A and B are shown apart, each in its own frame.
Chain A
Amino acid sequence: MNKKSLKISAQRLMLGAALAGALAGSPALAATQGTLGATSTGTVTITASVPNRARITGLTDVTFASQDPNTAASSAQNVCVWSNTATKAYTITASGSGTANAFTLSNGSSTAAYSVEWAATSGQTSGTALTAATASASLTSGAVNQTCSSAPTASATLLVKMATVDLGTMSAGSNYTGTLTLLVTPQ
């Protein structure tokens, strides 16, 4: 398993990536040698294993600027999640920078909670709520390469939301910042 961290803040959210490993065996060796002749032919057996790998790209920071505390805040972004397993399956684990990986922003003296949702397709306005530091159920990526450089250009939606009840606890004129780390694990 491998992860990269994503950073989030009321000012910004940073990205992350991930991969994971597995391996495979190799068959019996059987090189053959040529004999002297008008032509001579030898053969070699070639083996390789490609471990399970995943990657998340296309993440951007999230900023909720001058947010009206009476209006819930929501930020959705399309990202690329790629998995090289036969089923293209993966899990996503989100960890915040709050205590015990909580999804909280801090201004240094107080914190405000936010929520994280994930959808396994792009362009979504809602998704499955993620629990901090807990792997999601298995999802399937539609990406055909690591960075979605060819269609589809994104394969998932990351949503960061703040409820009015949490916005209402924040001090006006104060900057709240946090980091969100996303770990993708191929399945």
Chain B
Amino acid sequence: MIRNFPLITNGVALGLALACGMLPSSAYAANDKARISGLADVAFGPVSTATDTPISQDVCAYSSSATNGYSVTATGSGGGGAFTLSSGAAQLPYDVLWADSAGQPNGTALSAGTTTSGFISTAGQQGCSNPTASATLTVVIRAASLGTALAGSYTGSLQITIAPQ
């Protein structure tokens, strides 16, 4: 889920920055850190041409910022970072969803190469010992895409980058 905190945190950051005689560039301290872990490969196997096919996984997204806020940027291995799998010259697009809690079947749709802000982590530690996961990554192959896809074995990679906010 995206929560509308940036205005508040920006205000806090602005006050702190002015007090220190600095221009604010973001809402988080320079030494804030983030970590994404718990990622697993996504193997759809044979996919139906009749229905959307999602696969979700719980992951750990940790942010040390005061608000535990973070942004997510996803980049696929298709041309221009597109979310596409390839089988030779054939392409198969997919969607990427992100939710800032575990066990979510849906989430915010990410645009390839575009940073989406406003997520909050509940992870207490960078490795998510408790809770054991703080976010859900969902990859969806749409039936509409499968309707015209050529038969074959498709593969691709997805890079997820998070940054504290």
Stretch touching chain A among B1-9, B14-22, B37-45, B98-106 = B37-45
Determine the chain A residues whose CB is within 8 A of the CB of B157 once the complex forms: 43-46
10 pairs from A and B in contact (CB 8 Å cutoff): A37-B34, A39-B163, A40-B33, A43-B160, A47-B153, A49-B47, A50-B146, A50-B151, A51-B151, A84-B149
The answer to whether A46 and B155 touch (CB under 8 A), given A34-B35, A39-B163, is yes
Q: How many residues of A contact B (CB 8 A)?
A: 39
How many Å lie between the Cα of A86 and that of B149 in the bound state? 10
Q: Are B33 and A49 in contact (CB under 8 A)?
A: no
The closest CB in chain B to the CB of A150 belongs to: B148
Determine the chain A residues whose CB is within 8 A of the CB of B139 once the complex forms: 46
Majority DSSP secondary structure for residues of A touching B? loop
Q: Which of B99-120 contact A (CB under 8 A)?
A: none
Q: Are A36 and B150 in contact (CB under 8 A)?
A: no
Q: Are A37 and B150 in contact (CB under 8 A)?
A: no
Q: Are B152 and A24 in contact (CB under 8 A)?
A: yes
Determine the chain B residues whose CB is within 8 A of the CB of A144 once the complex forms: 148
Q: Are A50 and B152 in contact (CB under 8 A)?
A: yes
Q: Are B35 and A46 in contact (CB under 8 A)?
A: no
The closest CB in chain B to the CB of A52 belongs to: B151
B residues touching A (Cβ–Cβ < 8 Å)?
Answer: 30, 32-47, 49, 53, 59, 62, 85, 87, 90, 92, 94, 126, 137, 139, 141, 146-164
Determine the chain B residues whose CB is within 8 A of the CB of A49 once the complex forms: 44-47, 152-154
Determine the chain A residues whose CB is within 8 A of the CB of B141 once the complex forms: 48
When the two chains form the complex, which single residue of B33, B87, B149 contacts A37, counting CB atoms closer than 8 Å? B33
Q: Are B43 and A44 in contact (CB under 8 A)?
A: no
Q: Are A43 and B33 in contact (CB under 8 A)?
A: no
Determine the chain A residues whose CB is within 8 A of the CB of B160 once the complex forms: 34, 41-44
The closest CB in chain A to the CB of B37 belongs to: A33
Could you list 16 further interchain pairs (A-B, Cβ under 8 angstroms) beyond the known A33-B38, A50-B154?
A29-B43, A33-B37, A36-B62, A37-B35, A39-B163, A43-B39, A44-B41, A44-B160, A48-B141, A49-B154, A51-B151, A53-B49, A53-B151, A84-B149, A145-B147, A145-B148
Q: Are A85 and B150 in contact (CB under 8 A)?
A: yes
Q: Are B151 and A39 in contact (CB under 8 A)?
A: no
Determine the chain B residues whose CB is within 8 A of the CB of A37 once the complex forms: 33-35
Q: Are A48 and B47 in contact (CB under 8 A)?
A: yes
How many Å lie between the Cα of A36 and that of B33 in the bound state? 6
When the two chains form the complex, which single residue of B42, B85, B137, B151 contacts A186, counting CB atoms closer than 8 Å? B151
Q: Is A108 an interface residue (CB 8 A)?
A: no
Q: Are B46 and A39 in contact (CB under 8 A)?
A: no
How many Å lie between the Cα of A42 and that of B139 in the bound state? 15
Would you list the 7 A-B pairs with minimal beta carbon distance, nearest first?
A24-B153, A48-B44, A29-B41, A34-B36, A33-B37, A41-B161, A36-B35
